[in-house]
Amino acid sequence: MYFGADYHPEHWVYPYAGTAEEPEARWKQDIELMVAAGMNTVRMGEFVWGLCEPREGEYDFKWLERVMDLMGGEGIKVFLGTPTAAPPIWLTKNHPEILPVDERGLPLSSGTRHACCLNSDLYWEYSKRIIRAMAEALGKHPQLIGWQIDNNVGAHSMLPCFNEETRRDWHAWLKAKYGTVDHLNNMMGTRFWGQVVNDWDHVPMPKTAPAPHNPALMLDWRRFSSDTIVAFVRMQADLLRELTPQAPVTTNLRIFGQHLDLFDIGDTLDFMSLNSNATIKSKSSENACELDMLRSLKKVGAKLPGGEEGFWVIEQKAGHVNWQDVNSLVRPGVVRLFTYQTISRGANGVLYFFWRQPRIGPEKFYGGILTHDGRGENRVYKEISQIGQELKRLTPVLHGTTVKAEVCILYSHENDWTLSLPRQPTKYFNLREHVQLFHSAFHDRNIAVDFARPTEDLSKYKLVIVPSLSLMAGGEADALKLYVHNGGTLVATCNTALVDEHHMATASGIPHDLTDVFGLEVSEFDPLPCEEENHLAFKGNFHTSQMHTARIWCDVIEAKGCQVLASFTRDFYAGRPAMTVNNFGAGKAVYIGTISQQAFYYDLVAWLRTICLLHPLLKVPDTVEVSLRQKDGAKIYFLLNHQNTPVRISFYKPMHDFLTERTFSGNYDLPPHGVLVLDEQLTDLAAAAKAPEPDDVTGKKKDPASLT
């Protein structure tokens, strides 16, 4: 297990630390505190271009080498960042043409990070120079174990650029995709509003205009912009593999709502890393969703330091942030709790951001492991030091273990971009929230979930969820059809398969190319105002815990051979199907023609468990999160209490906790924000519980014998 911090030694030299006589003296003190906290890894260097090349062609990596030497003296490994996220002032002053231009045609200013256009050939050339110089100077250092490429690609201000170089690349991209202008006109549907083009150079970039651009053009622009970022990352990865083949490459990513296709990035990198805001989120299920997505971006072929599988969280927040309306402190125990959630879902490296709150710059009040005084007497440092000591015991136990799931949620970045375009059927639909309803239901019932592209091999999953895959290519529909025919269970929802990959609406019925699989056709759909709702009436063996609403979107469904599980109760489509199931080949296809509240999805998971033979990892209260890492039959369970109150667990046989090396039997009160890491003996222990808080969706307390 790699455990450490994001370190910025450039912040801790005289006059900000050290003395005039020993300007770098603080570095040694920092390393002593890292060792005392159980740390073995740091990331550094991601914003040092202007310090390592203060003037064009004049390089100084000696100070970074001195830091790495000091780290080596205490056995701490180093992950270096390529510094291309923050071009030096001299570069933007000498070459203002590398600066980005916004959609209004206005150039953005220099003097901050991401002050560059990734379509600039000149910027690529300067980026290659600094990467090559850095790798040649530091690439053979014994402490180097890997590279982080750039920083937060696809996030912050790394937006599409609208300058002439981008226009050139845009037209080349279109020509490579469509081949001829006539084919482009046909596939984009440029006849609408008479916007037919006669030459590649006539195809506009979607700059600010009097009316919305063609959605097919805007979708292609999002694809092109993503490909631009991926190409920039691939350029760096290829160069680093040439210069330092022993050091794997990654980059720090944020998950949903980004400007790039993360699956494409996964194909480019050796392993995946997350920039996690877990400690500032209110719901553990939202953090778990991001971790499961990251783990799913590179399911095979990952190359991590130390030869492990999995992923890293290369920026785990150690404290509060500085970009919310109110930046409250992270409460005691929360950093530890979410660190173990990260590890429980497959992470084999965790680095905290920041090592120390900086005294300078726009992030000086961002939380860190150390506060401004740097003494190491503060609450967060002590909490992370506890984690460091615990991980020394836990690392051998987790070696070689992975997370396995029998359920998969399909997700497509192209679909996400499609649903963010203007002129949607309703502004109240949110794909992230819709996905989260499903994921939370599985998470809260302790059933592991993967994510996948629609084109991946889905045969290993018992159950596949398709939440509002509005854009679906013909080949994707064929893959889903094959999955069901071969015995899989598929659950799809409203707003699925409305358009194809060219953003053309189907002429063959919704969901396009899948009406036979579901045994139905959607003839109309009715987006509901946010203050209105319909209701669902259920029949058959779908048991409900309460009345369920239909909100945001209601499909008007014509049943064509399917079994109706629920109907709408109001409006002109009262009595029409709202939820159906259809046998197709050896499998089943379930269709949910609306969006409901979270309680419905709990009932849905309970029903799906019976028909798919899914089993929760352990029998515990719903308020306890359980995750499993396993290898060769050995099973390591993580139990996390995200509540502010204790939860009582009854163990019917003695069991072992790796964090405390204690053996528990009988009743045990898992404290607020408490963690247990238990060995596979627990599979023989029917762990039941009595929780002091209500733990079902109706707010009623359950009898322990009924907990599942």
Q: What is the per-residue pLDDT across 515-533, written as a single tens digit (0 to 9) for each?
A: 999 999 999 999 999 999 9
User: Distance of alpha carbon 365 from its chain centroid, rounded?
Assistant: 26
The pLDDT value recorded for residue 697 is 32
695 has pLDDT over 80: no
Residue 666 pLDDT greater than 80, yes or no: yes
CA atoms within 13 A on the CB side of 448: 22
**407-612, which class in CATH?**
alpha beta
Quick one: which of 500, 441, 620 has its CA closest to 187?
500
The span from the CA of 671 to the CA of 579, in Å, is 41
Give yes or no for residue 259 having a pLDDT over 90. no
pLDDT of the residue at 158 = 64
Q: What is the pLDDT of residue 696?
A: 34
In angstroms, the CA 187 to CA 67 distance is 55
Which pLDDT band, with edges at 50, 70 and 90, does 633 fall under? confident
CA 356 – CA 607 distance, rounded (Å): 49
Of 639, 620, 628, the C-alpha closest to 680 is 628
Q: In angstroms, rounded to a whole number, what is the distance separating the alpha carbons of residues 615 and 61?
A: 54
Most confident of 102-111, 122-131, 666-675: 122-131
Tokens encoding 334: 């929360």
pLDDT(157) > 70: no
User: Coil, helix or strand for 172?
Assistant: helix
**What local confidence, expressed as pLDDT, does residue 61 receive?**
98
Cα 653 to Cα 640: distance, rounded to the nearest angstrom: 20
Question: What average pLDDT does the structure give for the chain?
Answer: 92
Bridge partners (DSSP) listed for residue 527: 553
Span between the terminal Cα atoms of the chain, in Å: 32
Residue in 74, 63, 78, 79 with CA at minimum distance from that of residue 32: 74
What pLDDT does residue 680 have?
Answer: 62
Maximum Cα–Cα distance across the chain: 84
Q: What is the pLDDT of residue 682?
A: 42
Q: What is residue 667's predicted lDDT score, i.e. its pLDDT?
A: 87
Helix (H, G, I), strand (E, B), or coil: what is residue 376?
coil
Confidence of residue 704 (pLDDT cuts 50, 70, 90): very low
On the question of pLDDT at 579 being above 90, the answer is yes
Residue 326, CA atoms < 13 Å, CB-side half-sphere: 3
Pairwise pLDDT comparison (581 vs 651), residue with the higher score: 581
Phi, psi of 593, deg, nearest 5: -90, 30
**How much is the pLDDT for 463?**
98
Q: Assign a CATH topology to domain 624-706.
A: Immunoglobulin-like (2.60.40)
| C-alpha distances out from residue 618 to 6, 644, 682, Å | 36, 22, 9
Q: Which amino acid is at 692?
A: P
Grade residue 156 by pLDDT with cuts at 50, 70 and 90: low
Which of 691, 529, 674 is closest to 623 using CA atoms?
691
pLDDT at 617: 86
Share of the chain above pLDDT 90, in %: 82
- pLDDT higher for 179 or 322? 179
The rounded distance, in Å, linking the Cα atoms of 316 and 354 is 9
Query: Is pLDDT of 320 > 90?
Result: no
How many helices (H) does the chain have, and how many strands (E)? 17, 26
pLDDT exceeds 80 at position 315: yes
User: For residue 544, what pLDDT is reported?
Assistant: 95
Q: Architecture of 2-158+224-398 per CATH? A: Alpha-Beta Barrel (3.20)
Give pTM, 2 decimals. 0.93
Mean pLDDT value of segment 151-171: 87
pLDDT over 70 percentage in the chain: 95
Question: Residues 686-701: what's their mean pLDDT?
Answer: 35
User: What does DSSP say about strands 548-559 and 520-527: parallel, antiparallel, or unpaired?
Assistant: antiparallel
Say if residues 463 and 612 touch (Cβ distance below 8 Å).
yes
Q: Is the pLDDT of residue 32 over 70?
A: yes
pLDDT digits (tens, 9 = 90+) for 463-501: 999 999 999 998 999 999 999 999 999 999 999 999 999
**Residue 76: helix, strand or coil by DSSP?**
coil
Checking if the pLDDT of 428 tops 80, the result is yes
Tell me the C-alpha to C-alpha distance, in Å, between residue 507 and each of 168, 511, 512, 513, 637.
35, 10, 8, 10, 50
33-47, 73-87, 290-304, 651-665: the lowest-pLDDT one: 651-665
- Give the Å distances, CA to CA, from 521 to 508, 518, 566, 596: 10, 8, 16, 21
Per-residue pLDDT of 532-551, as tens digits, reads 999 999 998 899 999 999 99
Q: Where in the chain is the domain with CATH 3.40.50.880?
A: 407-612
Q: Where in the chain is the domain with CATH 3.20.20.80?
A: 2-158+224-398
Given a cut of 90, whether residue 142 has pLDDT beyond it is yes
Please say whether the beta carbons of 584 and 516 come within 8 A: yes
CB contact set of 350 (below 8 Å; sequence gap of 6+) = 1, 2, 3, 4, 312, 313, 316, 339, 342, 343
Q: Are 287 and 246 in contact (CB under 8 A)?
A: no
Least trusted range by pLDDT, from 191-200, 253-262, 358-367, 388-397: 253-262
CB atoms within 10 A of CB 624: 24
